[in-house]
């Protein structure tokens, strides 16, 4: 797992040039056909975070690796990626040169106007949110038409083209949200849900672990209760009622998923991974991992 890929690195890697409109202070936006950027002769996409948002319409049989999860989709998928979560994807069948679709990239500064408060608050971009929306043929055609409009507009001389591009991007996000039940927009139906949501956000802020010197430190329910200014028993009851899990179980599951991601996607040694996850001794990490998976970290890495 490497540091976040910058927009400059994206352009240099894919096209070996930097665009003229790369102005971070006022935001950046661009849109591409997938086939112009992906092929058997192109470098593979690394598993890492990017310092920009991305919306992609991919067709075919693909596997998406997003944070600690892997999602296999055979068909058309509308994918949303945010700067907080590392990701990559791989072709499950065929050749990379057969890949078709569209994608756009943009910085947070590109959205100078408020979109439901903040674009990062939308369910598809929120940490722990749902990044993948499977589309049927009719939905594919509709979203493709929006991307085609983007491609036409990005190459136009229209004075207000970026305002229009911003609207097209917003239209895609709301189209995705409308494919889901409306209740996904309501995060906090009660106090317990609100506490659980804030707890989850605190937990997720510590991930992903991006270098061996980074360290996971908030390991106990008491750590989070102190941060949230609630009694630990109150926190435990809220999380148990909302998720059906204990606070300790919830933290343990997230710690394990990060351990699995680091073992699969980095070349760090076992001691480094254990230390950055908060284990003082390699044997403690080994015991933790084996108890939960029936594998040692070393054997899991080579499976």
**Residue 254: pLDDT above 70?**
yes
Match 């992903």 to its residue by tokens: 208
CATH number of the domain that residue 249 is part of: 1.10.10.60
Mean pLDDT of 59-88: 81
Q: What is the Cα–Cα distance from 110 to 97, expressed in whole angstroms?
A: 31
What pLDDT is stored for residue 259 in this prediction?
A: 93
Structure-model confidence comparison of residues 153 and 178, the more confident one: 153
Residues 162 and 196 both lie in one domain? no
**Residue 188: pLDDT above 90?**
no
Lowest mean per-residue pLDDT among 99-113, 151-165, 255-269: 99-113
Lowest mean per-residue pLDDT among 28-32, 35-39, 278-282, 294-298: 35-39
Spell out the residues 6+ positions from residue 40 whose beta carbon is closer than 8 angstroms to its own.
95, 96, 97
In a domain, 1, yes or no: no
Residues 196 and 235 both lie in one domain? yes
When divided into structural domains, the chain yields a total of: 2
What pLDDT is stored for residue 164 in this prediction?
A: 92
| Domain span including residue 19 | 7-185
Residues 111 and 226 both lie in one domain? no
In a domain, 177, yes or no: yes
What pLDDT is stored for residue 42 in this prediction?
A: 61
Residues 197 and 234 both lie in one domain? yes
In a domain, 121, yes or no: yes
Mean pLDDT of 275-289: 94
CATH number of the domain that residue 169 is part of: 2.60.120.280
In a domain, 295, yes or no: yes
Structure-model confidence comparison of residues 72 and 3, the more confident one: 72
Residues 173 and 118 both lie in one domain? yes
Structure-model confidence comparison of residues 8 and 275, the more confident one: 275
Residues 171 and 244 both lie in one domain? no
In a domain, 71, yes or no: yes
pLDDT band at 132 (very low <50, low <70, confident <90, very high): confident
pTM of the entire structure? 0.58
**Residue 119: pLDDT above 80?**
no
**Residue 187: pLDDT above 50?**
no
Domain boundary among 162, 185, 208: 185
What pLDDT is stored for residue 68 in this prediction?
A: 57
Q: What is the Cα–Cα distance from 61 to 67, expressed in whole angstroms?
A: 20
**Residue 201: pLDDT above 90?**
no
Mean pLDDT of 134-159: 94
Residues 170 and 107 both lie in one domain? yes
In a domain, 181, yes or no: yes
**Residue 184: pLDDT above 50?**
no
Per-residue pLDDT tens over the stretch 206-223: 888 888 889 998 999 999
Residues 72 and 220 both lie in one domain? no
In a domain, 252, yes or no: yes
Domain boundary among 169, 185, 201: 185
Mean of pLDDT over the chain: 83
Structure-model confidence comparison of residues 161 and 22, the more confident one: 161
What pLDDT is stored for residue 43 in this prediction?
A: 61
Residues 120 and 213 both lie in one domain? no
Residues 141 and 195 both lie in one domain? no
Domain boundary among 130, 151, 185: 185
**Residue 281: pLDDT above 50?**
yes
Residues 110 and 222 both lie in one domain? no
Residues 24 and 134 both lie in one domain? yes
Maximum Cα–Cα distance across the chain: 63
In a domain, 149, yes or no: yes
């Amino acid at each position: 797992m490497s540091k976040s890929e910058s927009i400059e690195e994206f352009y240099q890697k894919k096209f070996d040039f930097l665009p003229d409109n790369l102005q971070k202070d006022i935001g950046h936006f661009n849109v591409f056909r997938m086939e112009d950027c992906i092929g058997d002769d192109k470098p593979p996409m690394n598993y890492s975070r990017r310092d920009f948002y991305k919306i992609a319409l991919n067709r075919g049989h693909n596997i998406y690796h997003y944070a600690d999860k892997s999602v296999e989709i055979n068909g058309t998928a509308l994918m949303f990626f945010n700067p907080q979560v590392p990701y990559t994807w791989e072709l499950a069948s065929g050749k990379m040169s057969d890949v078709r679709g569209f994608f756009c990239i943009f910085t947070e500064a590109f959205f100078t106007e408020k979109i439901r408060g903040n674009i990062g608050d939308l369910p598809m971009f929120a940490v722990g949110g749902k990044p993948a929306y499977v589309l049927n043929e009719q939905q594919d055609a509709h979203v493709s038409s929006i991307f085609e409009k983007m491609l036409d507009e990005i190459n136009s001389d229209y004075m207000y083209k970026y305002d229009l591009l911003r609207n097209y991007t917003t239209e895609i996000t709301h189209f995705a949200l409308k494919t889901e039940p409306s209740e996904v927009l309501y995060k906090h139906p009660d106090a317990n849900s609100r506490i659980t949501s804030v707890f989850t956000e605190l937990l997720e802020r510590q991930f992903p672990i991006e270098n061996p010197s980074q360290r996971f430190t908030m390991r106990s329910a008491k750590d989070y209760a102190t941060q949230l200014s609630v009694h630990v028993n109150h926190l435990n009851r809220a999380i148990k009622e909302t998720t059906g899990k204990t606070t300790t179980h919830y933290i343990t599951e997230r710690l394990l998923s990060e351990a699995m991601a680091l073992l699969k996607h980095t070349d760090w040694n076992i001691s480094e991974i254990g230390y950055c996850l908060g284990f003082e001794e390699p044997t403690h990490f080994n015991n933790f991992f084996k108890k939960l998976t029936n594998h040692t970290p070393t054997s899991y890495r080579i499976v």
